[in-house]
Amino acid sequence: MSDHVKLIYDGKTYELPVITGSEGEKGIDISALRQTTGLITLDPGFANTGSCVSTITFMNGEKGILRYRGIPVEQLAEYSIFTETTYLLINGVLPTRKQLNQFSILLNDNSLIHEDMQSFFQSFPRASHPMGILSSMVTALRSFYPEIKITEEEINLMVTRLLSKIRTLAAMSYKISRGHKVVYPRPDLSYCANFLNMMFDNPVKPYQIDEDQVRALNIFWILHADHEQNCSTSTVRMVGSGRVNLYAAISAGIAALWGPLHGGANQAVIEMLTKIKEEDSGNVAKSVERAKDKNDPFRLMGFGHRVYKTYDPRAKIMKKTCDGVLEKLKISDPLLDIAKELEEVALKDNYFIDHNLYPNIDFYSGIVLRALGIPTNMFTVMFAIGRLPGWIAQWKESVDDPNWRLSRPRQIYAGPAPIDYVPIEDRI
């Protein structure tokens, strides 16, 4: 197969190199395109554009494959725990037992939050969305923990701090939003158990750690841990390319994740299912018809994906986890029945078949979170905690890249031709 493509433009032929990834994916290297031809490419939404070469995550949208550092996500969801998957993503290999123990100790050592940060929380209006609070608090971490000098050791400390403190910050914001006393992290608990304890323990009803719930949370976070160059990860890389500090880049990623077309979809799914239950008396067909109507902006939330044109492999695991958690906790959630019926009707519908629209990770994840007692407005925060290892791994890869360049796309200008400034008194 040819290792270049030919571009014929304005009577001249240019050769552009084709590069091949380790899974046989091919791309045209256009880094010298403008310099040699004067042309740029135009690709709204970057649907055809590779922004980097990466060794972290592989996904194949046609076959429904997702691997972190080569390991299938199905295996990680079955055998790994979130902290181990985090180590894998950030360091490139699975840790030895000793390395994992050391990593857990470091996470524990860094789990406390500067007490002054609590007063910060208190100042947010009660109705603030937790994603806005989280994004602000992560930026604020830099002021509370400024780096002395950028060394590898300092970066590792910053990474561990973020991984550990984000979980404390999220639980703390929930407690404060309810007007309850903050629960501190406990060194004897695992990462996931600690989070649940900080969220739900209170002096009246001490929280009982349930290993099935802890396992479900591990799976939830493992499935969210990375997804190559998605909207929020690309934001982290882009903001990071200006060489801002890690906290600022992650804070930008959190803001990007917030939207309902991206991470905010898990909250939007539950809102949609609740509406079907309460306003449409459980009639799913009405929503399917609305989603097909091009005059109606409504979309089936939790359906469709830019890359997956088949069932999202994470959604399969999430659906199984959802069934397992509800069964073990002996919970019957009417929203799960509606979700399953909606999925069945949509998957048989020609519009959804022709458009390759399948459930994505967000379709069932909200029901798992509800079963764990997480309030709906915290769902996207849960996604953010899970995605943090991926953001960090991608940020590290980009800043260590010898071919690093400031991200700065170009545009095709379609505005007015030059015109003169008109003084205000002469304007009509």
- For ligand ACO, the binding residues in 354-413 under the rule CB under 6 A are 355, 357, 360-362
A 10 A CB-CB count for 9 gives 10
User: Radius of gyration over alpha carbons of the chain, in Å?
Assistant: 24
Rounded distance between C-alpha atoms, residue 366 and residue 63, angstroms: 25
Q: Which range binds ligand ACO by CB under 6 A, 96-104, 105-113, 215-223, 298-306?
A: 298-306
* Min separation Cβ 40 and ligand ACO, Å: 22
The only residue of 81, 270, 300, 342 in contact with ligand ACO, by rule CB under 6 A: 300
Q: Which range binds ligand ACO by CB under 6 A, 33-41, 152-160, 304-312, 334-342?
A: 304-312
Q: In what order do the strands lie in the sheet with 26-28?
A: 4-9, 12-20, 26-28
Quote the crossing angle between the two packed helices 362-372 and 379-400, to the nearest 10°. 120
Q: Which is nearer to ligand ACO, 73 or 301 (CB)?
A: 301
The only residue of 64, 240, 253, 263 in contact with ligand ACO, by rule CB under 6 A: 263
Q: Which is nearer to ligand ACO, 56 or 198 (CB)?
A: 56
Cα separations in angstroms, 8 against 15, 34, 117, 371:
9, 14, 59, 58
Determine which one of 4, 305, 312, 420 is catalytic.
Answer: 305
* Min separation Cβ 45 and ligand ACO, Å: 6
Following CA atoms 377, 317, 384, 307 in sequence, which dihedral angle do they give, to the nearest 10 degrees? -110
Q: Which is nearer to ligand ACO, 192 or 265 (CB)?
A: 265
* Min separation Cβ 326 and ligand ACO, Å: 22
Please tell me whether residue 222 adopts helix, strand or coil conformation: helix
- For ligand ACO, the binding residues in 120-149 under the rule CB under 6 A are none
> With binding defined as CB under 6 A, does residue 291 bind ligand ACO?
yes
Rounded distance between C-alpha atoms, residue 62 and residue 168, angstroms: 38
- For ligand ACO, the binding residues in 19-58 under the rule CB under 6 A are 45
Rounded distance between C-alpha atoms, residue 395 and residue 233, angstroms: 8
The only residue of 76, 239, 301, 315 in contact with ligand ACO, by rule CB under 6 A: 301
Q: What are the two backbone dihedrals, phi and then psi, of residue 421, each rounded to the nearest 5 degrees?
A: -65, 135
Rounded distance between C-alpha atoms, residue 377 and residue 427, angstroms: 49
The only residue of 299, 319, 370, 396 in contact with ligand ACO, by rule CB under 6 A: 299
Whether the Cβ atoms of residue 216 and residue 317 lie closer than 8 Å to each other? no
The only residue of 68, 195, 303, 391 in contact with ligand ACO, by rule CB under 6 A: 303
Q: Which is nearer to ligand ACO, 304 or 313 (CB)?
A: 304
> With binding defined as CB under 6 A, does residue 228 bind ligand ACO?
no
Q: Which range binds ligand ACO by CB under 6 A, 80-88, 163-171, 261-269, 321-329?
A: 261-269
Quickly list DSSP for 286-305: HHHHHHH-TTS----TTB--
Question: What 8-state DSSP symbol labels residue 44?
Answer: G
> With binding defined as CB under 6 A, does residue 253 bind ligand ACO?
no
The only residue of 178, 275, 306, 348 in contact with ligand ACO, by rule CB under 6 A: 306
Tokens standing for 253?
């990623």
Cα separations in angstroms, 46 against 229, 304, 393, 404:
10, 17, 21, 19
Catalytic status, residue 129? no
* Min separation Cβ 304 and ligand ACO, Å: 2
> With binding defined as CB under 6 A, does residue 265 bind ligand ACO?
yes
Strands 12-20 and 26-28: antiparallel
* Min separation Cβ 311 and ligand ACO, Å: 13
Catalytic status, residue 362? yes
Give the residues lining the site for ligand ACO (CB under 6 A). Answer: 45, 261-263, 265, 291, 299-306, 355, 357, 360-362
List active site positions. 305, 362
